[in-house]
Chains A and B, each alone.
Chain A
Amino acid sequence: NAGVTQTPKFQVLKTGQSMTLQCAQDMNHEYMSWYRQDPGMGLRLIHYSVGAGITDQGEVPNGYNVSRSTTEDFPLRLLSAAPSQTSVYFCASSPLPLLAGELFFGEGSRLTVL
């Protein structure tokens, strides 16, 4: 059972570089989201999607782009990485309505920006 798969698990970038964090789910969930986790700050929502072709901003969207061309995939793009984006990133999915069930999380992607 794959569930939610994130790649890469670890990445080191230099300031100004771009990269994409990949997220794929095989549960046919309509809802997908990206969170970042920083010490003492819990999980903060970056972007989310309620279906293919639909995305919206969360609490901390600046510096990040997303797209949802298929139900399965929800990549997160960093256009010009900054040290403030050093964090652990989690992708999560859920069937809709959101609170009828649970969020299923990937194992996380640890990003360091130098």
Chain B
Amino acid sequence: TQLLEQSPQFLSIQEGENLTVYCNSSSVFSSLQWYRQEPGEGPVLLVTVVTGGEVKKLKRLTFQFGDARKDSSLHITAAQPGDTGLYLCAGPGFGNEKLTFGTGTRLTIIP
């Protein structure tokens, strides 16, 4: 089983600050996805990164896939209360028929 570990598990910061959360594995992934989940709802896809070293930007969110395709990071600039949620990374398992999720980072932005 390929494991994805996310850090930190919890993060609480003031509105306007910058932050980075991490997704790490000892295994190589062909791609990684990032999802955000709000209370009472299912996760929603934010981005998919597929190439080692790839950087994707989604407004104030910047996603990076590690060169060795074993890790990824999510950087948020000038965090807003609307960024509050559970951030999950996910990667394909053997045969690309299973998606393995990380343990998640619960982010709280304080107004």
Looking across the interface, which residue of chain B has its beta carbon closest to that of A97?
A: B96
Query: Is B102's CB under 8 angstroms from A42's CB?
Result: yes
A92 within 8 A of B: yes
With A98-B92, A99-B48 already in contact, the answer to whether A108 and B99 are too (CB < 8 A) is no
Interface residues of B in 29-87 (CB under 8 A from A): 30-31, 33, 35, 40-45, 48
Looking across the interface, which residue of chain A has its beta carbon closest to that of B32?
A: A99
Q: Which residues of B contact A98 (CB under 8 A)?
A: 92, 96-97, 99
Query: Is B92's CB under 8 angstroms from A99's CB?
Result: yes
Query: Is A102's CB under 8 angstroms from B103's CB?
Result: no
A74 within 8 A of B: no
Interface residues of A in 1-50 (CB under 8 A from B): 4, 31, 33, 35, 40-45, 48, 50
Query: Is A107's CB under 8 angstroms from B103's CB?
Result: no
Number of contacts between A and B (CB, 8 Å)? 63
Query: Interface residues of B, CB < 8 Å — how many?
Result: 27
Instruction: Tell me the smallest distance from the CB of B45 to a CB of chain A, in Å.
Output: 4
Query: Is A42's CB under 8 angstroms from B101's CB?
Result: yes
Q: How far is the CA of A50 from the CA of B96 in the complex (A)?
A: 11
Q: Which residues of B contact A35 (CB under 8 A)?
A: 101
Q: Which residues of A contact B100 (CB under 8 A)?
A: 45, 59
Partner pick for B103 among A41, A48, A103, CB 8 A cutoff: A41
Query: Is A92's CB under 8 angstroms from B42's CB?
Result: yes
A47-89 contact mask (Cβ, 8 Å, vs B): 1 or 0: 0101000001011000000000000000000000000000000
Q: Which residues of B contact A97 (CB under 8 A)?
A: 96
Looking across the interface, which residue of chain A has its beta carbon closest to that of B41?
A: A107
Query: Is B42's CB under 8 angstroms from A106's CB?
Result: yes
B26 within 8 A of A: no
Residues of B near any A CB (own CB < 8 A):
1, 4, 6, 9, 30-31, 33, 35, 40-45, 48, 88, 90, 92, 96-104
Q: A42-B4, A58-B98, A108-B40 are in contact. List 4 more A-B contacts (CB 8 A).
A: A40-B9, A43-B101, A92-B42, A102-B33
